[in-house]
Chains A and B, each alone.
Chain A
Amino acid sequence: MSNAIEIERLSYRAGKTFAIEDLDLHVPTGSIYGFLGPNGSGKTTTIRLILGLLRARAGRITVLGDAMPAQHARVLAHVGYVPEQPHLDATLTVQELIDFQAAFYPRWDQARAAELVSRFELDAGQLFGRLSKGQKAKLMMLLALAQCGDLLVLDEPTDGLDPVVRRDILSALLAYVSERSATIFISSHLVHELERVCDWVAVMDNGRLIIESPMETFKRGIKRLTVSGAPRELRDAPFRMLRRESENGAGESWVVANWEPGMLAYVQGLGAVVNDVIDLDLEDGFVELLRSFRGSAAGRTTP
């Protein structure tokens, strides 16, 4: 499977406090790729690097087979982008913005734009500055979809929107994907939303990628185990221990990643008993993963 976006050993520094170091990312063509991370983790910076808005210190970025930012004009003709903050001019009307955008994109679909104006109930004569937050988000999505790009890069497209608008936007997005087999790269911290639509997930924190995996593999592998009789040290564990807590003498609670049913034999081989295996949803898994990452990062930096 080829990749719509490939990032290799990317480094970027912004000021003295924030840096992205040795970032590797592989977004399979045709996937809906959820890019998760808390605020300030580096998601928007990564997106800006992907689109050539920022220059990396080192590393390689390939988008739709072309190097970025060297080939940015060619690449951007096939990329729809919805930024975190609406960036369009407040004094232009919806129709003027649509006309402006249409002039720059060779594959612009006027019929789709008109259909989305109607479906999103946008007033073509309304000034962008007078639109509500939800209407602005819908217009941004309209502009990205009507470009008919092979890749959509969406930076928190539904952040702060009410559930009705969120649903409208996501359904338009899913309809587009099913129709065009496009790749969607969507960043968010609304974990539940991504869980419903994404087939790949990556988690970033503090400028570093913690995990990149197919959504099902990730969700299937994150479990909470209730264990009794386990030794203090686990040698050569086939899973990744994210958290281990004692439960007031009644055994231990483990949160593990990369879990598979066959690993019960490993735990039993330690002389321990697994009393319960509980599935975690993406949000719980995300939180546990972040805690574990931050805990180990703190451990590394503590003298």
Chain B
Amino acid sequence: MIRMYRAVLSTQWKWARLVIVLGTIAGFAIPLVSIQGAAPPDRGALQAQELLHAVQSWGTLYPLLATALGLLVAIAAWAADHRGRHVHALTLPVPRWQYVLLRFGAGGLLLVAPIAAVLLGTLLATLSATLPPGLQAYPIALTVRFAFALFVAYAVFFAISAGTARTAGIILGTIAALILVQVVGGMAGIDVDLVGTVQTLLLAGPGPLAVFTGRWMLVDV
């Protein structure tokens, strides 16, 4: 089983390495830049208001990076199998659930690199700066949140990518139907807020995608 995992990991590394390398660089750079961006031009002490503003602005990049990485690594995991119409995968002598787990696990391991980069970047950024009184750095909490968001994004896109064109069609069709019902309801003067309800279910806590919302603060009160 370890040999199989290594084989799958090496192919997925080959397909996703550019994304992983760029994501790792970005994950390392964002915390450093967010703190450096708040430094005054005269290199004087950091001001609380400016620092919070800069950290909050740059903080929007963490969920974006997590989503982009999750999406691209998930696509990379299945792209070759889709191109080969899954014939190779389906003729391998392993149960299908096991093959899916091997692919999922290989992608998951690759994502450890950008998470480690975020941890390293946040630690370095907070250790190298003198924070104004009353502010605290949360490098571990931010990294854990990033890791969670990354794995949620990866899991969701992995599940969608693993499906057939029909599955993708069903998902897109459901979204289109929701929007259509919303639009028609609005035109008919019926008070239907399906899109808002779905959004609340998904994004408001404890929704499955709630981790992506809210403020991503490396430094906060």
Could you tell me which A residues sit within 8 Å of B by CB distance? 51-53, 73-77, 79, 81, 83, 87-92, 96, 99-100, 102-105
Is B101 positioned at the interface, with any CB of A under 8 Å from its CB? no
Instruction: Evaluate whether A74 and B14 lie within 8 angstroms (CB atoms) in the complex, with A87-B85, A89-B80, A103-B7 already known.
Output: no
Most buried by A among B3, B7, B8, B92: B92
Is B94 positioned at the interface, with any CB of A under 8 Å from its CB? yes
Is B215 positioned at the interface, with any CB of A under 8 Å from its CB? no
1/0 per residue B16-43: CB within 8 Å of A?
0000000000000000000000000000
Which residues from chain A contact B87 at a C-beta distance below 8 Å?
53, 83, 87
Report how far A47 CA is from B88 CA in the complex, Å.
Answer: 14
Report how far A100 CA is from B14 CA in the complex, Å.
Answer: 13
Residue on A nearest B84 in the bound complex, by CB: A87
Is B166 positioned at the interface, with any CB of A under 8 Å from its CB? no
Residue on B nearest A77 in the bound complex, by CB: B93
Which residues from chain B contact A103 at a C-beta distance below 8 Å?
3-4, 6-7
| 13 A-B contacts (beta carbon < 8 Å) | A83-B87, A83-B91, A87-B85, A87-B88, A88-B88, A89-B11, A91-B15, A99-B7, A100-B10, A102-B7, A103-B4, A103-B7, A104-B92
Which residues from chain B contact A90 at a C-beta distance below 8 Å?
83
In the complex, what's the smallest C-beta–C-beta distance from B133 to chain A, in angstroms?
54
Which residues from chain B contact A53 at a C-beta distance below 8 Å?
87, 90-91
Most buried by B among A81, A83, A104: A104
Is B95 positioned at the interface, with any CB of A under 8 Å from its CB? yes
Most buried by B among A53, A90, A103, A105: A103
Q: Are the C-beta atoms of B90 and A52 separated by less than 8 Å?
A: yes
Q: Are the C-beta atoms of A88 and B84 separated by less than 8 Å?
A: yes
Q: Are the C-beta atoms of A89 and B95 separated by less than 8 Å?
A: no
Which residues from chain B contact A91 at a C-beta distance below 8 Å?
14-15, 80
Which residues from chain B contact A105 at a C-beta distance below 8 Å?
93
Q: Are the C-beta atoms of A104 and B14 separated by less than 8 Å?
A: no
Give the interface residue-count category, chain B: 20 to 34
Report how far A105 CA is from B98 CA in the complex, Å.
Answer: 15
Instruction: Evaluate whether A104 and B93 lie within 8 angstroms (CB atoms) in the complex, with A88-B88, A89-B84, A96-B10 already known.
Output: yes
Q: Are the C-beta atoms of A74 and B90 separated by less than 8 Å?
A: no
Which residues from chain B contact A76 at a C-beta distance below 8 Å?
91-93
Report how far A281 CA is from B162 CA in the complex, Å.
Answer: 49
Which residues from chain A contact B98 at a C-beta distance below 8 Å?
73
Please provide the 9 A-B residue pairs with the shortest distance between their CB atoms, ordered closest to farther.
A103-B7, A77-B93, A87-B84, A89-B80, A76-B93, A87-B87, A103-B3, A100-B7, A87-B88
Residue on A nearest B7 in the bound complex, by CB: A103
In the complex, what's the smallest C-beta–C-beta distance from A58 to chain B, in angstroms?
21
8 extra interface residue pairs, beta carbon distance < 8 Å, beyond A96-B10, A100-B10: A73-B94, A89-B11, A91-B14, A102-B7, A103-B6, A104-B4, A104-B92, A104-B93
Report how far A5 CA is from B172 CA in the complex, Å.
Answer: 42
Which residues from chain B contact A74 at a C-beta distance below 8 Å?
93
Report how far A74 CA is from B3 CA in the complex, Å.
Answer: 18
Report how far A83 CA is from B164 CA in the complex, Å.
Answer: 21
Report how far A76 CA is from B94 CA in the complex, Å.
Answer: 8
Which residues from chain A contact B85 at a C-beta distance below 8 Å?
87
Q: Are the C-beta atoms of A51 and B91 separated by less than 8 Å?
A: yes
Report how far A139 CA is from B126 CA in the complex, Å.
Answer: 54
Which residues from chain B contact A75 at a C-beta distance below 8 Å?
93
Which residues from chain A contact B93 at a C-beta distance below 8 Å?
73-77, 104-105
Which residues from chain A contact B8 at a C-beta distance below 8 Å?
100
Report how far A190 CA is from B11 CA in the complex, Å.
Answer: 36
Q: Are the C-beta atoms of A92 and B14 separated by less than 8 Å?
A: yes
Which residues from chain B contact A99 at a C-beta distance below 8 Å?
7, 10
Enumerate B58-99 residues with CB–CB distance to A below 8 Å: 80, 83-85, 87-88, 90-95, 98
Residue on A nearest B94 in the bound complex, by CB: A73
In the complex, what's the smallest C-beta–C-beta distance from B95 to chain A, in angstroms?
5
In the complex, what's the smallest C-beta–C-beta distance from A77 to chain B, in angstroms?
4
Which residues from chain A contact B90 at a C-beta distance below 8 Å?
51-53
Residue on A nearest B92 in the bound complex, by CB: A104
Instruction: Evaluate whether A104 and B83 lie within 8 angstroms (CB atoms) in the complex, with A89-B11, A99-B7 already known.
Output: no
